[in-house]
Structure formats: C-alpha cells, structure tokens
Structure 1
Amino acid sequence: MHLHEVNYCTSRSTYESVLVELNRTIYRTQELGPERVPAKRRRANLISKRFLDLCGISPSCIRKLNVIHVAGSKGKGSTCALIESILREKGLRTGSLNSPHLIDVEERIRLNGRPLHRDVFTSRFWELHDVISGGIEMDDGERILPTYLVYLTTLAFKTFVEEQVDVAVIEVGLGGRFDHTNLVEDPAVTVVTGIHLEHTERLGNTIEEIAWNKAGIFKPGVPAVIAHNIAAGAMRVFEHEAELVKCPLFVAPSLHELRSWTANDPKVLSQLDACIKDLPVSRSTEINAPLALAAVYLWSSRSAVCRENIDFKPLVFDGLSGLQPPLSFGLDAKQLQGS
C-alpha cells in the first residue's frame, strides 16, 4: 500500500503521466455509442463553459482576454501565428491556443509565442485535473467527464486568465459553431480563413454547409473579417449569418491589392515588398497576411488595452518584419442591417 502511494505521487509529477491521462480521455467519446456522439458534439461549447465555470472562470474573466477567434478550412494556423506576432511585436502579452500540435501537446498553448514549459504544463494540468476530473452534471442529469479537448481548452483559457494576457488568439479545432472553443460570448474580432470541403461527415457535404459551421463563431455586434477568396455560395451564407446575428462583416483585401494601395509611396512599397519577401511565397501568404492585418486593425478599434496603451491607428506592420511606416488600411465592408 505504501509503495503504491509513492508510485502514484511520482507518476503525477511527470510529463509522461500527463500524456497517459490525456490519452485515456480520447476514448470517452467513442464509448458513448454512435447514437449519442452527435448530440454531445452539438453542445461541446456549452460543455466547455461548464468546465470553465467549475474552475471559477466566468464570462467576465474571458471578456478581459480580448479574444480573436479564428475559424476556417485552411490557413488558420498561419493566420493565428501572424496575428499573434503582430500583437506581440507591439509589446502586448499574448496567449494562443492552436491545434493540432506538431510534436508535443504543450505546443498548443503558448504565452508570448512560446509553448508552455513542459514542467509548467505538467503542474498546471494536474492542478486542473484535481478540479475537473470528476466531471460536470448537465441540465438533463447526464454526467460529462472531461475529454482530451476539454482538458486542453479549459487549461488554455484558465492559463490565459491567470497570466492576465492582453489578447488571446484562439484557433477553432473543428468547424466553429459547435467547437469546444466557441465558448467566448463576446470576442473582440472573429476571423474566417479559406473555405473548402473538409470533415464532411461532421460539417456537411457542401461548401454552404461548411460555411454555416464556420459562421457559428459570429457574435452580435462583433466585427467579423473573412478572406477575400471565399466562394460565392459560402459568401452568401456568411452574409446571411452576419445579418442574423447582427454583426458587421468585412472582406480582407488580397496581398496584390495591399501592394497597390502603397504604389504612390515608394518607401512604404519597398518595405512592404521586403516584408512579403520574408514570408513564404505561397497562395496561403497572399490570402492570410492581409487577413491577419485586417483582424489586428479591427481588434485595435475595439480593445480596451489597445486604446489605453498603444496607438495602432493607422496600422503599422511591425509584426511582419519590422515594417515601420504607417499604412492606411482599406476594407471592403459588407455593412449589414444592425451592424
């Protein structure tokens, strides 16, 4: 008995023990049975809210994070990285939640661009585990135990609140409308990158259905900005959903358009070209760099911390490679009813 207790305590102090516990939770959804999985997925964001409430993290705590919520089929990760880089270069304390990880699970949760230190991740995980491992009871009496995504989502938001970050850049895991991250009632900005058919067994078999799921992150009165290359069918869905929730919808320019706006200022144009040169030459950069800048521009107009501490207007491009001169930022605004 004595040896068992010692081994248990030792295992809880190791990073490997966290991986074992997390991996055990992967199978909890599978154990529900196929008839119950869709219903649980549809209330994943509510489940996340309940677990945060169990940790004492209220909506008002989350509001202080000045969240930028990013959905999309492709380019979410690079867009989030660009947004975070711009804001961090301006001296803001940043937190970011991304998925999936490339090598180690702690890569998903970052402070100031760096993954949580493995020891910090381990200790924070077990602190959280002690609070939420028993699960929560839903209104229908069902007891829900924390899954892999619940643990990581809850850990990320709890960490960002405790570390008092100035901004949290949150990448949607899957879809958006029913995603675990869609617990933020009033983010500062919502962002949607490129759209294509993906995870059709969960999100739908058409571009329009996929777009409907992504548009689920739109919130009343919160500006939403989308990539410029959105297909017509998806655009109609975004316009309709933005009108339903009464949020202003903006379309970011392409990188080519961005360059054309600087054509009359050779100094700014040359620095913008240098900035573009440092980024990967790809279709993704053409779409996501201006989208990230648009998101920061909109965020700067709403964030209290920005108004108090930093002048972002007109927007400067420090985060993309030290581009200093101010550049007036234009957006194709779909000003909808109620926006």
Structure 2
Amino acid sequence: MGLHPKGFDLSLSRIRRLLEALGNPHLRMPPVIHVAGTNGKGSVTAFCRALLEAGGLGVHVHTSPHLVRWHERYRIGRKGGRGELVDDTVFADALRRVAEANGGQAITVFEILTAVMFILFSEQPADVAIVEVGLGGRFDATNVIEHPAVSVIMPISLDHQSYLGDRVELIAAEKAGIMKRGHPVVIGHQEYSDARDVLISTAERIGCPVSIYGQDFLAYEEQGRLIYQDEFGLSDLPLPRLPGRHQYANAAAAIRAVKAAGVDVTEAMAEKAMISVEWPGRLQRLVAGKLMAYAPTGAEIWVDGGHNPGAGEVIAEAMAGFEEKQPRPLYLITGMINTKDPVGYFHAFAGLAQEVFTVPIRGTDAALDPVALAQAASDAGLSASPVSAVAEALRAIRDRVLPGETSPRILIGGSLYLVGNVLADNGTPPK
C-alpha cells in the first residue's frame, strides 16, 4: 500500500504488461465464472461456490475488498471439500514474484493483487475459478479473461459515478464490458429497465447466449421454500441461509450461471448449497465476540457492508422483514466513505430506524466525519448522533433501553471498511 497508488486507474495496458512478464498466467486458468454488478456480486459468488463445492468440485474464489485480512481475496479450491483462504507463505511468494516482474513501474494496488490472483489460480489445481470484478468491468484488471465459461451481471445501480458515469445505462455499458463474444451471459435481477436493456442489447450484439432473470429463470418463496424455475424445470429448495428476500434472486442467478458454465446442477447440490452458503459481512449476525459486552442484553446485532442507495433499499427491506416476524426497535450504527451517497443510503431507513449513531472508520483516509454523516442522516429524516466508536454507540443504545422494554435490533453498516473494523474488534474475522 505504501509503494503503489490507491484507488483505480481504469486501463488494461499495465496489467497486460505485467502478466506478459509473468508468462501470462491468466491464459492457464481453470474455467472462469466472471461476475460484475453494483450489488449482489459477492452473494452470487458465494452461492456459485456453495453449489460447485456441493458437487465435490475444487473452486478458486477471488473477491474484493477484504474485510480484515488481505488473504480473504483468495480462496484456494480443494477437490471434494471446502476451499481455504490462501496460505501465508504461498501468498507472500506470489506477491514477491509479481513485484519483481513489475520492476518498480507505475501500477495500482488492485492490479498487483489481480496479478497475484492469476498466479495463484493458474498454479493451484481446481475445477472452476469464480472471479469477482473489482470496479466496473470493461477496464477492470480482471477483464483480461478472454474465454469465460460464463459472464454474470448482477443488479446495477448508481455507484462510483466519477469512474463509471452518472446514469445507470452508462454504468451498465461498463459492466457489460466483461461479456465476451459467443460466451454465455447470465443477467441477474435488474431494478432499472434502462440498465437491463443495455445488458441485453450488448449480449445480443456480440452473439452471447443470454439468460435473463424474470424471463429465462426466476425464484420465489412458496410456503417457506425457495422455488427455482427455468426451462429445464422447477426445483423445490430450502430458503437460503443468507437472510433477506433479495437473496432469492441472487441464488437463482447462481444456479443459472453454474448451469450455463456447463455444470450439471442436481437437486441435492442445490439443496446443500442453500443451507451451507456463507458470505461474511453481508447481513451477518454477530452472536458472540468482544463487542457484545457493550450491547444491551439480548440485542440482535447485524453487520452489513452495503454502502449505496440500492444496497440500502435491500438491507432496509430485510430489516422490515425481520420486524414483521419479531418486532424490535431498530438502531443503526453507520460509517461511510466520502465517495458514497449517504443521504440516498439513509433514505431507505426513514420511518424504520429509531436512531442512527455515526462513527469513524479506521484503515481509510476517505472516511466521512461522523458529524457530517449524522447531518446526512438528519437530511434523510432520521434522528442521528455522532460518537467516537462502535463500542460507544452500543453503550449509548444500551442506556436507551428501559427495564422491561424489548431488546433492540442493531444494524452496523454503511461500509465494508467499517464491517472489517467490527469483525476485527469483535475477534470474529472471516475464515
């Protein structure tokens, strides 16, 4: 991080030069499921991994950013078992080789880390690699993949406008850049028809077999079960372990993507995947750890790294769903970085959250000041107070709970950086 510029410099020339110096490891990858989108990339990646591992396949997984440790970006597949985060020695060796090949030339941190991914995934045996895009698609460093088994585009909304454009159709055009001529494409649920139209027209223009959520496949809840349907038939599955109704469409996109990649998805694989899927920091419930000591007794605590208005809407919908099943007062503990739209994020919680506590974030110089963030929450119609830390916010919530009152539901979120802080402080990092 000290050697290379932070952020993104959207171009493929540097990563291509570096990979050439490394012997082009990206050309020796297992079949790749390439995933882009504004929201849901991580969830569909987690579902794809669960499906493939349920079938006994070895699955490499690349995600970003990490929450606590850099190693989380690289899960190394194990045939017949659960993949494991990269070994420290193997990771260090790959980093050293990439640095030597780069020879001190200008390059971003993400490009270095992407080259590391290609080394790790090309040299370690696996049946499939799932590669999540870092930002955008067309000029993302992962987009040197020439022959994906399938390209997956998840829900698109406004985010990273300074890089990708200020209209959803412009962002969709950038995400569509991962599609490759003649290779299968799966388009997940799209809230915006303009984005959906751009994705479909791009796929059709370059001759990609395309599967569209709501047209070629879909999923819905019926009598406490998840029903997945496509032209091959109907599957009656357990509801996904990942909470929130938005996960039904994410699970459906994963099933379709794995099928499009040429893998036979059996009912047994899908059933096992729904109950075993895991995705840290995304509507993850904290049930133990150091921070629990500061919270009200019996409080229900969730962490989620969603950080844009689209994510705010699906998280708020999930919280409203929890409220219907078990009413509790909802409090937010929120930290965000200055490239986001905090008022848009908070709008989704107006009328739902009792109060917001805004906190600073460690590990980034782009964190919004808690006072400014509290003002954004107020602008969205919420009562908000800035505090110095998550522990202080939990204590403040505890002080507000009167004897005999229902213990609250607490959502800590607004940034993956904040979620990383919380999981580290709680002593429960991803494994």
- TM-score, normalised to structure 2's length? 0.56
Structure 1, residues 256-297: CA drift from partner, whole Å, max 9, x if none? 1861759xx99x63xx1xx21x52331331220101111001
Q: C-alpha deviations, 1:4-29, integer Å up to 9, x for none? A: xxxxxxxxxxxxxxxxxx332135x7
**What displacement does 1:48 show?**
1.7
Query: Would the alpha carbon gap of residues 122 and 60 (structure 1) be closer, same or farther in structure 2, given more than 3 Å must change?
Result: closer
Number of residue-to-residue matches in the alignment:
262
Corresponding position of 2:28 = 61
Identity fraction in percent: 33
**1:148-180: CA deviation from partner (whole Å, max 9, x where unpaired):** 011100000111111132211010111111111
1:57 CA displacement? 2.0
Give the direction of change, closer, same or farther, for the CA distance of 1:289–1:260 in structure 2 (3 Å limit).
Answer: closer
Query: How big is the shift at 1:132?
Result: 2.1
The Cα offsets for residues 113-169 of structure 1, whole Å up to 9 and x where unpaired, read as 32212232223212332222343xxxxxxxxx2320111000001111111322110
Distance 2:188 2:25 in 1: 32
In 2 relative to 1, CA 131–239 (structure 1 residues): closer, same or farther, beyond 3 Å?
A: same
How does 1:70-81 map onto structure 2 within 5 Å?
70-81=35-46
- 1:133 corresponds to: 103
Tell me which residue corresponds to 1:82: 47
User: Matches of residues 1-339 of structure 1 in structure 2 within 5 Å?
Assistant: 22-27=1-6, 41=10, 43=11, 45-57=12-24, 60-62=27-29, 65-112=30-77, 113-135=83-105, 145-252=106-213, 253-256=217-220, 259=227, 261=229, 269=236, 272=237, 275-276=238-239, 278-300=240-262, 311-312=264-265, 316-317=269-270, 318-321=272-275
Q: Is the CA contact 2:34–2:130 (under 8 Å) kept in the aligned structure 1?
A: yes
Is the helix fraction higher in 1 or 2? 1
Q: Distance in 2 between matches of 1:118 and 1:260?
A: 39
How much is the aligned-residue C-alpha RMSD, in angstroms? 2.7
The SS at the match of 2:131 is: strand
Q: Normalised by the size of structure 1, how large is the TM-score?
A: 0.70
| CA deviation profile, 1:64-123 (whole Å, cap 9, x unmatched) | x21110000001011111111211221222111111110111111111332212232223
Aligned partners of 1:183 and 1:58: how far apart in 2?
11
Q: Is the contact made by 2:219 and 2:229 (CA closer than 8 Å) also made in structure 1?
A: no
Partner deviation per Cα, 1:316-339 (whole Å, 9 max, x = no partner): 41322379xxxxxxxxxxxxxxxx
Alpha carbons 1:46, 1:183 under 8 Å: kept = no
Whose relative contact order is higher, 1 or 2, with alpha carbons under 8 Å and at least 6 apart?
Answer: 1
CA distance in 1, matches of 2:184, 2:103: 36
Secondary structure in 1 matching 2:162? helix
Change (3 A) 1:312 1:287: closer
Q: Secondary structure at the match of 2:123?
A: helix
Give the Cα separation in 2 of the matches to 1:322 and 1:116: 21
Which ranges of structure 1 fall in alignment gaps of 5 or more residues? 1-21, 30-36, 136-144, 301-305, 324-339
Cα distance between partner residues in 2 of 1:250 and 1:105: 34
Cα distance change, pair 243–322 in 1 and its aligned pair in 2 (3 A): same
Q: Distance in 1 between matches of 2:145 and 2:201?
A: 21
**Would the alpha carbon gap of residues 206 and 313 (structure 1) be closer, same or farther in structure 2, given more than 3 Å must change?**
same
CA contact under 8 A between 1:52 and 1:158: conserved in structure 2?
no
SS of residue paired to 1:186: coil
Distance 2:204 2:47 in 1: 28
Matched residue type, 2:219: L
Q: Residue 50 and residue 314 in structure 1: after superposition, are their counterparts in 2 closer, same or farther (change >3 A)?
A: farther
